[in-house]
Amino acid sequence: MSRAIVVGAGVIGLSCAARLLEAGHRVDVVARELPLETTSAIAAAIWYPYLAYPRERVEAWGLTTLAVFEQLADDPSTGVVRRHGIELLSERAPRPEWAATVPSFAVAAAVPEPYVGGWNVQVPVIEMPIYLGWLTARVRDLGGTITRMALSHLPRPAGVTVVNCSGLGALGLAQDRSVGPIAGQVVVIEQVGLEHWWMDDASVSYAIPRSETIVLGGSADQDNWSRVPDPAVARAIIARCAAMVPEFGSRLERARIVAHRVGLRPGRPTVRLEEERIGDSRVVHCYGHGGSGVTLSWGCAGDVVDLVGPA
């Protein structure tokens, strides 16, 4: 049995760990932040490719992940639910390339003003606190370990493959200066009866329903390292979402606020998924997923297993 050390306990790290364990490897996950402390825990988490490149690889990873989420949605313990929703368009646009692969894709018959069109579609919505708990249990049930550990550099034990899923941590751990934060702020409100998700990609606005809450977003601030929520941004998010979902607008505005949160997405010109040899050490990098960590997770994890090789 070969051994792998996965650095990072967000959705990418845990997905890679699970797939490696399923392939017969011994796996230990080490991370500065445990799963519910990561940026992944803040994600609104709807299956939707966003802020990740290159497009051709992102599409393939995304479709693989979509197929896995469709299966997981049959198990209530995973926190994955199939939900219909609408993506609103401010300008006319062709159907997205992934339209033919997504169940129930259709052109929206009616949209609120000032939008000019939209897509009605059913995709998985992932309630991240539940899902990360399920993933953590999956890794441990398969014999993996998860340990809090602040690293100053990537470990290099002899005969062990290191899988670098450190996200923004790759700026220091991999000395990758192309990595940078894309700050995203959300407002979590109580559930007021919203069953369908709504999204306006052009203004980075979304209302994503969960079982007991609704995640309203958002923002995408390049090179912003602050995790402190901005009250003005929060007010703007609520106002945009209320206008986007007119039949629920007043309810969204009056709903009790459960939390204000900011997550730092790991931005990079392209996702880095490749093997690197450093002396006698072997590293498989898997980071730089931007706003698509959840959407690409299982597809990237499969490629990581292929790079690591047989157990």
- Which residues share a beta bridge with 261? 186
Q: Both tokens of residue 177?
A: 């200066």
The mean pLDDT of 245-258, rounded to a whole number, is 96
CA 145 to centroid of chain Cα atoms: 22
The pLDDT assigned to 56 comes to 85
Is 90 exceeded by the pLDDT of residue 219?
yes
The pLDDT assigned to 281 comes to 85
Q: Residue 1 — very low, low, confident or very high, per pLDDT cuts 50/70/90?
A: confident
pLDDT digits (tens, 9 = 90+) for 18-29: 999 999 999 999
Is 80 exceeded by the pLDDT of residue 100?
no
The mean pLDDT of 96-101, rounded to a whole number, is 78
| Spatial CA neighbour of 260 closest among 42, 38, 39, 10 | 42
Is 80 exceeded by the pLDDT of residue 103?
no
Mean of the per-residue pLDDT values of the chain: 95
Spatial distance between the Cα atoms of 93 and 14, rounded to a whole number of angstroms: 36
Q: Alpha helix (H) ranges present in the chain?
A: 11-22, 55-72, 128-141, 170-173, 231-244, 249-254, 293-308
Spatial distance between the Cα atoms of 253 and 23, rounded to a whole number of angstroms: 48
DSSP E strand boundaries for 22-177: 26-31, 80-89, 106-107, 117-126, 145-148, 160-164
The pLDDT assigned to 247 comes to 92
pLDDT digits (tens, 9 = 90+) for 175-211: 999 999 999 999 999 999 999 999 999 999 999 999 9
DSSP readout, 260-300?
A: EEEEEEEE-SS-EEEEEEETTEEEEEEE--TT-HHHHHHHH
Spatial distance between the Cα atoms of 264 and 43, rounded to a whole number of angstroms: 10
The pLDDT assigned to 236 comes to 98
The mean pLDDT of 244-248, rounded to a whole number, is 94
Burial class from Cβ neighbours inside 10 Å (0-12, 13-18, 19+) for residue 27 reads: buried
The pLDDT assigned to 96 comes to 83
Question: In this structure, what are the phi and psi dihedrals at residue 225, rounded to the nearest 5 degrees?
Answer: -90, -5
The pLDDT assigned to 102 comes to 80
The pLDDT assigned to 27 comes to 98
pLDDT digits (tens, 9 = 90+) for 41-96: 999 999 988 778 898 899 899 999 999 999 999 999 999 999 999 999 999 999 88
Percent of the chain topping pLDDT 90 = 90
The mean pLDDT of 149-156, rounded to a whole number, is 94
Spatial distance between the Cα atoms of 211 and 127, rounded to a whole number of angstroms: 8
The mean pLDDT of 276-303, rounded to a whole number, is 94
CB atoms within 10 A of CB 112: 15
Spatial distance between the Cα atoms of 10 and 3, rounded to a whole number of angstroms: 20
Tell me if 53 sits within 8 A of 270, measured CB to CB. yes
